Amino acid sequence: MPNRIKGNRFDCIVIGGGHAGVEAAHAAAKIGAKTCLITIDKSKIAQMSCNPAIGGLGKGQIVREIDALGGLMGLAIDATGIQFRTLNRSKGEAVQSPRAQADRGKYAKWMQQALEQTENLTIIEAIATELITENNKVRAVSCKDGSVYQTETVVVTPGTFLGGMMYIGSDRWAGGRIDEPPSVELSQSLKRIGLELGRMATDTTPRLDAQTCDLDKLQEQSGDEPPMPFSFMTERIERPQVLCWITYTNEKIHELLRGNLHRAALSSGQMRGTDPRYCPSVEAKVVRFADKKQHRIFLEPEEDSIKTIYCNGIFTSMPKDVQEQMLRLLPGTENARIIHYAYAIEYDYCPPIQLKSNLETKKMSGLFLAGQINGTSGYEEAGGQGIIAGINAARKMQSKEPIVLGRDQAYIGVLIDDLLTKGIAGDPERGKERLGTLDEPYRMFTSRAEYRLSLRADNADRRLTQIGKSVGLVDQKRWMRFQNKLKNIDKLKSYLANTHSKGLSLWEQLRQPNNTTGQTLADSPYVKKMGFGRYVLQSVIIDAKYEGYLAKQKRLSAGFRTLENKKIPLDLDYKRIVHLRTEAKEKLSAFRPGTLAQASRISGITPADITVIRIYLKKYSVRTNKRQERSI
Amino acid sequence: MYELNDTIVAVSSPTSGQRAIVRMTGPDTVDKVSQIFISSIPRDRPCLISGNVAVAAGLKIDAKLYLFLAPHSYTGETLAEIHIHTNPRVTEALVGGLLAKGLRMAGPGEFTARSYLNGKIDLAQAEAVNEIIVSSNKFQLAAAEKLLAGRLAQTTAKVRAEIMDCLSLIEAGLDFSQEDIEFITTCEAIERLAEIKGRLEQLLSGSISYESVIDLPAVGIAGVPNAGKSSLLNKLLGRARSIVSEQRKTTRDVLAGLLTLDHCQCVLFDCAGLMSEPNNILDELAQQAAIEALQNSSVVVFCVDISKADWAEDISIRELIEGPRSAGTQARVLIPVASKSDLLSEDLLIKRIAELKELFGAEFIATSAKTGAGVELLRETIDGKTIELALGPAAEPAALLFSETSGNGVALTARHKQAVTEAIENIGESINELKADNDEVTAMMLRAAYQTLSNIEQQHIDEQILENIFKHFCIGK
C-alpha cells in the first residue's frame, strides 16, 4: 500500500534506513526539518546486516560521539545489548573502547520505535529511483510506485544496495541483502547527475542454529562486570549478560580452503571488488598467513535467547558445500545447521573526494551522502556520517553554517577528513589508475587519530555535548545532567588540587605513573559525602593521567593547527597557479581541499606545493581586499 | 613549509669574519633578548643600545642591540639584531643559548619569506618569488635524488624507517589487540628503540660543529659519472664515514666528509659526475653545483675509471676540473687517480697507466676502493699536497691544520643538531612510556621523533627552494 502523498513537500528526505539513515533522519527531524525517511521495508530499518555488535577499537569512540551529539546508536545498544566488554582494558584509557553484542532483532525494533516517536519525521515504504534536480540543486525524489516528493535536501544512505550483486561461490544474483532486492535505478540516477561511482566488495559470515552447536565444550568469553554503557544517559545496565564462545580453525580446514580457492567469489576474480585487508576472508587469512596453524573464531549469539550464532572470523565467499565442510571440521559446529550461508556482496559507492566537509556533494547542492556509499565499512562509521549529514542537511535548509568537526575534536572529524583527503587508500600500488578511488572499505582505527590522547571514549561527552546542544539535538534533560557532571568534575578537581598528603597535592599524586590514589579515591570521605558517581571519578582520574601528555601532544601538533585555519576557496582555480606542479594541479583540482591542512594531507602533495599555494592565496587575498577597497 | 608564528634566530654574517650579527624575529623576540642582554630594553620603541650580552654562565661580551618593533621591520614582525665582535665559536654558543631558550633556528631565506608573507614585499616581487619556486620545484624532485644521496638525510631516512617499523608494530598491538597475534613484545620493542636511540646518539656524539670545519682546506673528488668517486671517498673516510651536511657556499649538494690525515685535516667531498654535454636541465644543475664546489677546493682528486678503454669524456671534462687559468687565481693542484684497478690484470693495469700518462701528461695513482690498493698512497699524497699548499713546499709538517675538534664525525649544523637531539629525547621518552605500559603515549613520541627526522630531510628541500629564491632576489640577507 504505497503511501501516495504526491507533491508532498519536505525539508529533508533520507533515502535508506540503515545505520547512517537512521541517525540522519532522526537528527534532521529533531533539529526542526520536516523530514521523510524512504525505505524499501520498514521492518528492516536499522537491521544489523553483518556483525551483531556495536563498538570496538576506534568505533566505540565514534558511538560515544554520536551519543554526545544527541544521536541514537548509544541508547539503542544500551537498551538491547546482551554482552558488554571494554576492549584494551590492559592498555591506556585513550585506546580503550566499549563494545557490545546486540540482540539483533531488539536493536532494530528499538530504533524503529525511536524513529516512530520522533516528531517531524515521516517514514515511507518505497523504492526511491530518481533524484530530480534543477540548476545543480536537488528538488525532489521520485519512487518506483510513481510518487514524487519535493524536498530542499536529500541524504542518500543506501548501504550495500546500490547495484548490489551477491555471491556464494559461483552463484550470483542481484540483491542488497539476504532476501532483499538491490537498488538499481538510484545508481543510474546518481550517475546521470554527474557523480562518479566505483565498486566495493565485502563478505559476510555464516549464521548457525544455536541449538545444533556444541558450545559447552568451547572456551567461554564473558562480558564485563559491571557492564559499561555507551550512552551518557544510561546510568547502569542491569540485564544479565550472555556468553560468547571461542573456537579455532585447524590444518584440515586450511587444507580444504586452499584446495577450493578458485571457487571463492572474491579471490576467483569473479567479482570486481578486492578483498579488504582489514577484515579479510578466512580463505585470504589462510593464504596470507600460511605459517599460522590456527585462526581464532568467535561464536557470538545474535539474541538474548541464543537462537542463532554469528561466526565472527569466518568471512567467506566460498560455495555452500565448502562452507558446510568447513563447519563440520570446526570444533563446536560439527553438527551445526546453517541458517544463512555466508555471502559476498559487491555494490556501488561514490568516491568521497566528491564531497565537501559537510558531506554534501560538490556537484549537486542539497545532496548529501553518508555511510557505505562513501566507501566506509561499519555501523559506527555509518552512524557518525549519518548524524553529521542529517545535521548539515537541516542546517542548510535553515541557512546556517555547516557543522564540521575537526581532527582534534572527534573521531568523526578524522573519519570525514580522511574520506575527503585520502581518497586513495593505504596501498599506493593499488587503485592507482583512478584518482581518488578507495580500493577497500575505510574502517576506523585509533591510530588514524593523531590527537588520540584527547579523543577518548571517556570524554566524548565533554568534547561534543556542547555542539549537540547548539545545533538543537541535545535535549534539556541531557544538558542538565551534563552541566551537573561538569560541575562535579570541577569540584572534585579543586578538592584534589587543594588537598595535600606526603608533600604532594592529591592531583599531583594522581598524575604519577602507577599511583594508587585513583583506586582509593572512591572511598575518600569527601567523595562519599559529595556523592560523585563513577563517571565523574573516572573522568578526573583519566584527565590527571593524561594532563602532561596532552601538553606534549599540543606542542607536537602546533604547526598543523595553523594550517587547519587557512581556508582555501573551494572554487580556487588550481590550473591558474602557474607555478604549481602538474601532478599537484591535477590532484588538488580533483580533491578541492577546504584548508591548507587538508591539502597537505593529500598523498603526493609536497610541502613545497603548500608553500606555492600559500603565496598564491596571500596574493589572492591582497587582490580581493584591494578590489573590495575600490568598490567601497 | 615554515611555521610562521614562532621566533627564529640565525647568524647572518660571514662565518669566517670577526664580526657577527645574530638576528631574530617573531613574537618572543623582546622577551628572549631581555633574557640575555644585560641592559634594560624598552618595549615600546625601536632602539640601538650598547651593552653586554651573556653568552654562557660567566661569559659576557660587548654587544650592540638593534631593536625594530612590528610592523616596522624588515620582516614585519619584531626583529632584533645583536652585533658582536668575536670568533665563530662564541657566536655559536650565543645562538645555542637562544635555541635552548626555545627559539628555532631559521632556514635560509626565512627572514625574507616572512617579509613577503607579512606583506612587506609588493606583488611584483611576490610574483617573481613564485617564478623561482617553480624552477626549484622541478629541480627538487630529481636533483634531490641525484645529488644528495649519501648525505645526512640518508642516515636519518634509515633511522626513520626503523622507527616506522617499530611504531607500526606498537600501533598494531593497540588496534588489533583482539587478534591472537603478538606483534611485538615490550622487551623487544624497548631493545629496538634503544638501538635506534643509540644510533642517533652516536651520530650526535661523533658529530662536530659544522662551523668548525668550514675553514679547513677542501679536497674535491671529481670525474665523469660512474668513475668510482663515491666508493673512493667512502674508502678514504673509512667505515665511520663522516657526512658534512649542507655546507652552503662550499660543498653544497655534494657528499662530503672530514678526512683526518697524518699531518692535517681536510674536508673531502665528492660531487656529481661531470659531463661535457649535460643531457638535461637536472644534469646541468648538478654540474653547476659540482663546479661551484670545486671552485672552493685547493686540491682535486681527478678520478678516472681505468677499467674502461675510452677516455674521451674524461679528457673533455679535464678543463672543467682544472678551472679557468686566469691570472690571479691560484691553480688547483690535481691528483690524478685511476680507479677500479681490481678489474684489470696486473699486466693490463701497467699498460693502461702508461696510456693514461701519455694522454693526460701525468702520473696516475692506481687505486681500488674494493681491495684498498693504492688508497694509502693516495692518502699520503693528499696529505702532502695539502700541507705543501698551505705552508709552502719546504715547511715542516705540523699539526697546524688540525681544527680544535678531532676525530671523524658528522658535521652538523646547529639546526640539525637541534633536530637530532629532539628525536633522541622523543625516543628516550617513548622507551620510558613503554616501560610504564603507556603504549599510546609511546606511539605519540615515536611519531614526533619520526616527524622531527623527516623535517631534516624535508627542510632541506624547502630550504633549497627558499635559498634559491633569495639568492636570486638579493633582498636584505
pLDDT digits (tens, 9 = 90+) for B155-173: 777 888 889 888 888 888 8
Predicted pLDDT of residue B143: 30
Neighbour-count burial of A335, counting CB atoms closer than 10 A to its CB (0-12 exposed, 13-18 middle, 19+ buried): exposed
pLDDT band at B218 (very low <50, low <70, confident <90, very high): confident
Reported as a single tens digit per residue, the pLDDT across B7-61 is: 998 876 544 456 778 889 999 999 999 888 888 888 788 888 888 888 877 778 8
pLDDT band at B413 (very low <50, low <70, confident <90, very high): low
Distance from CA of A90 to the nearest CA of B (A): 9
Reported as a single tens digit per residue, the pLDDT across A569-606 is: 888 899 888 667 777 888 888 888 888 888 888 877 87
Write out chain A residues lying below 8 Å of B453, CB-based: none
Predicted pLDDT of residue B18: 66
In chain B, the residue whose alpha carbon lies closest to the alpha carbon of A446 is B175
In chain A, the residue whose alpha carbon lies closest to the alpha carbon of B138 is A581
Write out chain A residues lying below 8 Å of B138, CB-based: 581
List Cβ neighbours of A24 (8 Å cut-off, separation of 6 or more): A14, A155, A157, A368, A370, A386, A387, A389, A390, A393
CB contact under 8 A, A92 and B439: yes
* Cα distance between residue B143 and residue B396, in whole Å: 43
Least confident stretch, A131-140, A303-312, A375-384, B104-113: B104-113
Considering only residues A198 and A37, tell me which one the structure prediction assigns the higher pLDDT. A37
Predicted pLDDT of residue B417: 77
Predicted pLDDT of residue A187: 95
Least confident stretch, A106-115, A263-272, A333-342, A590-599: A263-272
Domains, chain B: 8-121 (3.30.1360.120), 209-409 (3.40.50.300)
CB contact under 8 A, B441 and A453: yes
Which residues 275-334 of A have a C-beta within 8 angstroms of B?
295-296
Q: Please determine, for residue A107, whether its predicted confidence score (pLDDT) is greater than 60.
A: yes
Question: A242 with A302: CB under 8 angstroms?
Answer: no
In chain A, the residue whose alpha carbon lies closest to the alpha carbon of B461 is A608
* Cα distance between residue A580 and residue A602, in whole Å: 15
CB contact under 8 A, B444 and A622: no
Predicted pLDDT of residue A567: 86
CA distances for A424 relative to A434, A593, B407, angstroms: 9, 14, 48
CB contact under 8 A, B440 and A453: yes
Write out chain A residues lying below 8 Å of B439, CB-based: 91-92, 95
* Cα distance between residue B130 and residue B134, in whole Å: 6
Which residues 553-572 of A have a C-beta within 8 angstroms of B?
553, 556, 558-559, 562
Q: Please determine, for residue A195, whether its predicted confidence score (pLDDT) is greater than 80.
A: yes
Reported as a single tens digit per residue, the pLDDT across B281-332 is: 656 666 776 776 677 677 889 999 998 878 888 888 887 777 665 544 556 7
Provide the 8-state DSSP code for A576.
G
* Cα distance between residue A430 and residue A603, in whole Å: 14
Reported as a single tens digit per residue, the pLDDT across B90-145 is: 787 888 888 888 888 776 556 766 776 666 654 445 444 444 444 333 333 223 23
Least confident stretch, A7-11, A304-308, B180-184, B263-267: B263-267
| Rounded (10°) CA dihedral A605, A608, A609, A615 | 150
CB contact under 8 A, B440 and A95: yes
A91: nearest CB among B131, B133, B439: B439
Predicted pLDDT of residue B105: 79
| Rounded (10°) CA dihedral A585, A589, A592, A596 | 10
pTM: 0.73
Q: Please determine, for residue A274, whether its predicted confidence score (pLDDT) is greater than 60.
A: no
Q: Which residues of B touch A (CB under 8 A)?
A: 1, 3-5, 116-117, 119, 123, 126-127, 129-131, 133-134, 136-138, 140, 171, 174-180, 436-441, 443-445, 447-448, 451, 458, 461-462, 465
Give me chain B's average pLDDT, please: 73
Distance from CA of B373 to the nearest CA of A (A): 45
Most A CBs within 10 Å: which of B141, B444, B453, as the mutation test of the A interface? B444
B372: left (phi over 0), alpha (psi -120 to 50) or beta: left
CB contact under 8 A, A581 and B439: no
Predicted pLDDT of residue B206: 64
Least confident stretch, A149-153, B224-228, B397-401: B397-401
Reported as a single tens digit per residue, the pLDDT across A305-340 is: 889 999 998 989 899 999 999 999 999 999 999 999
Predicted pLDDT of residue B280: 63
Nearest to A186 by CA among A122, A143, A139, A244: A143
A445: nearest CB among B137, B175, B447: B175
In chain B, the residue whose alpha carbon lies closest to the alpha carbon of A561 is B3
Check whether the bond before A229 is cis (ω within 30° of 0). no
Distance from CA of A578 to the nearest CA of B (A): 8
pLDDT band at B267 (very low <50, low <70, confident <90, very high): confident
Write out chain A residues lying below 8 Å of B129, CB-based: 615
Distance from CA of B180 to the nearest CA of A (A): 7
CB contact under 8 A, A450 and B447: yes
Summarize the confidence of residues B178-196 as an average pLDDT: 87
CB contact under 8 A, A447 and B171: yes
B133: nearest CB among A513, A553, A579: A579
Distance from CA of A30 to the nearest CA of B (A): 35
Predicted pLDDT of residue B239: 44
Q: Please determine, for residue B251, whether its predicted confidence score (pLDDT) is greater than 60.
A: no
Predicted pLDDT of residue B240: 40
Write out chain B residues lying below 8 Å of A447, CB-based: 171, 174-175, 443
Domains, chain A: 207-344 (2.40.30.260), 476-556 (no CATH), 560-631 (1.10.150.570)
Predicted pLDDT of residue A40: 93
**Unique residue bearing C-alpha cell 575505510:** A442
Phi, psi of A92, rounded to the nearest 5 degrees: -60, 150
**Unique residue bearing C-alpha cell 691553480:** B331
CB contact under 8 A, A562 and B5: yes
Distance from CA of A250 to the nearest CA of B (A): 14
Provide the 8-state DSSP code for A374.
G
Q: DSSP assignment of A424-473, as one string?
A: S-S-TTSS-SSTT--SS-B---GGG-TTTTTS-STTHHHHHHHHHHHHT-
Q: Please determine, for residue A483, whether its predicted confidence score (pLDDT) is greater than 60.
A: yes
Summarize the confidence of residues B217-232 as an average pLDDT: 82
Predicted pLDDT of residue A424: 41
* Cα distance between residue B419 and residue B107, in whole Å: 13
Reported as a single tens digit per residue, the pLDDT across A79-103 is: 999 999 999 998 889 999 999 999 9
Most B CBs within 10 Å: which of A613, A615, A617, as the mutation test of the B interface? A615
Predicted pLDDT of residue A548: 87
* Cα distance between residue A435 and residue A323, in whole Å: 37
CB contact under 8 A, B131 and A579: yes
* Cα distance between residue A487 and residue A507, in whole Å: 17
The ipTM value here is 0.82
In chain B, the residue whose alpha carbon lies closest to the alpha carbon of A246 is B180
Predicted pLDDT of residue B236: 83
* Cα distance between residue B344 and residue B340, in whole Å: 8
**Unique residue bearing C-alpha cell 665523469:** B224
Predicted pLDDT of residue B330: 57
* Cα distance between residue A69 and residue B86, in whole Å: 63
* A579 lies within 8 A of chain B by CB: yes
* Cα distance between residue A478 and residue A626, in whole Å: 49
Write out chain B residues lying below 8 Å of A578, CB-based: 130, 134
| Rounded (10°) CA dihedral A595, A598, A600, A604 | -130
Predicted pLDDT of residue B141: 28
Question: A186 with A40: CB under 8 angstroms?
Answer: no
Predicted pLDDT of residue B57: 72
Question: B366 with B306: CB under 8 angstroms?
Answer: yes
